[in-house]
Amino acid sequence: MTKDSAALPLSNVRVLDLTRVRAGPTAIRQLADWGADVIKIEEPVDPATETEMGGMRLGPDYQNLQRNKRSLTLNLKDPAGLEVFKRLVRDADVVAENYRPDVKERLGIGYETLREINPRLIYASISGFGQDGPYARRPGYDQIVQGMGGLMSVTGLPGQGPVRAGIAICDTSAGLYGAFGIMMALYERERSGLGQWVQTSLLESQLAILDLQAARWLVSGEVPAQAGNNHPTMIPTGLFNTQDGLMTLQVPGQVMWERFCKALGREDWMEDPRFRMNRDRSQHREALNDLIEEIFATAPRQYWIERLNAAGIACGAVNTIDQAFADEQVRHLGVAWPVEHPQLGEIGLVGQPLRSDRHRASLRSIAPMPGQHNEEVLGSIGLSTEEITDLRSRHVI
């Protein structure tokens, strides 16, 4: 664990983080990992209480999402707490929140209010369904949006009904789009000198990452259906049994199809009218898959992976999570960040998948306990020890 953030790209950016649950913390974690000074602001609570995600503060979710942040407890419903927050806003670069749209206005911390204090402020809002419109005040969670946004309808095996994706994909995508929006606004501020209000939502982000499936509807009027482990348009693609385990395979385009046939010693498939072109293979997908699996069953998985990769054909093992992190390429890339935690011992956190030749994101501090940095943060804006003690006695912090 390194404590030096001065050399990281965002070390001159200060963020006031009001976000909760997953989408907002995901966005701000991107900034924190790259050096931003993130002050996580939360209500004064007993550290032993559950977090919004149902786990404890020493649990995997909290440790992974809240790293590289400082914690300030602050009751924004108290006028004194609100005044402290506004003092922090004066020198902040970013305020991020993911309340329901009406909550921030009730608290008196909406964008119009805060930009009067700091015209250079980037204000980032992540919501379930957007800041306005008929669903704006609805509670929005990942699973709900997966259903409403069409993702469940294209996930799972054909005929088995809609299936939830195995990760919180709506939260994660909204967080990443939110982080991108903040970076866009920070870059634009270099030219204009002004802040702006950046907004995204789980619903918009989920529709955006439908990408190909959304385009099939918007461009061609085609309603995509579940394809299971098969790719909806590239054939052959899917999971195949080998002699000793499952393998995943994708053969995109005609050139790769011909390479694949040669690698398996089945050049005759290239002239078979059932398989000659992608549209033909699409109509006879099941027959082709059965033939491929008959061949794959004759040798171990690693044999086929090495043989096909040598021919330029994309394939790989189907791993469990523990197997994925044990993979030699994953270990080489350093995706898991090792941590020596004072209470949990040796653990790992999910590292940044982005790098450059000049910078590498790092873990500088573990997830804080509530109020861990109260004195440090409040002292930095000029509050005396006596004033901080007074705020604590009145449960403002």
Mean model confidence pLDDT for the chain: 94
Query: Distance (Å, rounded) from C-alpha 387 to C-alpha 257?
Result: 72
Q: Is the pLDDT of residue 49 over 80?
A: no
Encode pLDDT of 348-365 as tens digits: 999 999 989 999 998 999
Confidence of residue 231 (pLDDT cuts 50, 70, 90): confident
What mean pLDDT do residues 42-56 have? 74
- The stretch 365-384 carries a mean pLDDT of 95
Q: What is the pLDDT of residue 2?
A: 46
CATH at residue 312: 3.30.1540.10
pLDDT tens, position by position, 123-140: 999 999 999 999 999 999
Average pLDDT of the residues in 149-176: 96
On the question of pLDDT at 199 being above 80, the answer is: yes
pLDDT digits (tens, 9 = 90+) for 68-127: 999 999 999 999 999 999 999 999 999 999 999 999 999 999 999 999 999 999 999 999
46 is catalytic: no
Categorize the per-residue pLDDT at 340 as very low, low, confident or very high, splitting at 50, 70 and 90. very high
Residues 202 and 247 placed together within one structural domain of the fold: no
Residue 7 placed within a domain: no
Distances from the Cα of 118 to the Cα of 72, 74, 95, 221, 313, angstroms:
20, 20, 11, 47, 55
pLDDT-derived band at 56, boundaries 50, 70, 90: confident
Over range 22-45, report the average pLDDT.
96
Q: What integer is the mean pLDDT of 51-59?
A: 75
With a cut of 80, say whether residue 46 has pLDDT above it.
no
Q: What is the pLDDT of residue 52?
A: 66
Q: What single string gives the DSSP state of each residue in 11-58?
A: TT-EEEE---TTHHHHHHHHHHHTT-EEEEEE----TTS--TTSS-TT
Residue 230 in domain: no
Angle between helices 79-90 and 385-393 (to 10 degrees): 140
327 inside domain: no
Q: Are residues 132 and 38 in the same domain?
A: yes
Whether residue 166 contacts residue 187, with contact meaning beta carbons closer than 8 Å, is answered with: no
Tell me what pLDDT residue 82 has. 97
Q: Which of 171, 244, 322, 327 is catalytic?
A: 171
How many C-beta atoms surround the C-beta of residue 38 within 10 A? Answer: 26
What number is the average pLDDT over the span 320-338? 96
Contact present, 365 and 35 (Cβ < 8 Å): no
Residue 108's alpha-carbon distances to 39, 68, 114, 155, 270, in angstroms, are 19, 28, 9, 41, 68
Residue 25 inside a domain? The answer is yes
51 and 154 in a single domain? The answer is: yes
For residue 45, tell me if it sits in a domain: yes
Amino acid, res. 21: V
Rounded Cα distance between 350 and 361, Å, is 12
| Helices and strands: H and E segment counts in the chain | 17, 11
What is the domain extent for residue 313? 237-319
For the chain, the domain total comes to 2
Determine the pLDDT at residue 57. Answer: 86
Work out the pLDDT band at 54, boundaries 50, 70, 90: low
The pLDDT of 327-352, averaged and rounded, is 95
Contact of 319 with 327, CB cutoff 8 Å: yes
Question: Do 276 and 189 share a structural domain?
Answer: no
Q: Are residues 267 and 372 in the same domain?
A: no
Residue 5 binned pLDDT confidence (cut-offs 50, 70, 90): low
pLDDT tier, 45 (very low <50, low <70, confident <90, very high otherwise): confident
pLDDT of res. 4: 54
User: Do residues 249 and 312 both lie within one domain?
Assistant: yes
Distance between CA atoms of residues 386 and 397, nearest Å: 13
Confidence of residue 208 (pLDDT cuts 50, 70, 90): very high
At residue 187, φ and ψ (nearest 5 deg) are: -65, -45
Q: What is the structure's pLDDT at 53?
A: 63
Q: What is the CATH number of the domain that holds 193?
A: 3.40.50.10540
Domain boundary among 268, 285, 319: 319
In a domain, 37, yes or no: yes
Cβ neighbours around 117 below 10 Å, total: 14
| Residue 92 forms part of a structural domain | yes
Question: Is residue 149 predicted with pLDDT exceeding 80?
Answer: yes
- Per-residue confidence (pLDDT) for residue 1, from 0 to 100: 44
The span from the first CA to the last CA of the chain, in angstroms, equals 29
28 shares a domain with 100: yes
How many residues does this entry show for the chain? 397
**Which amino acid, one-letter code, is at 40?**
K
- Asked if the structure places residue 223 within a domain, the reply is no
pTM attached to this predicted model: 0.92
Residue 378 and residue 343 share a domain: yes
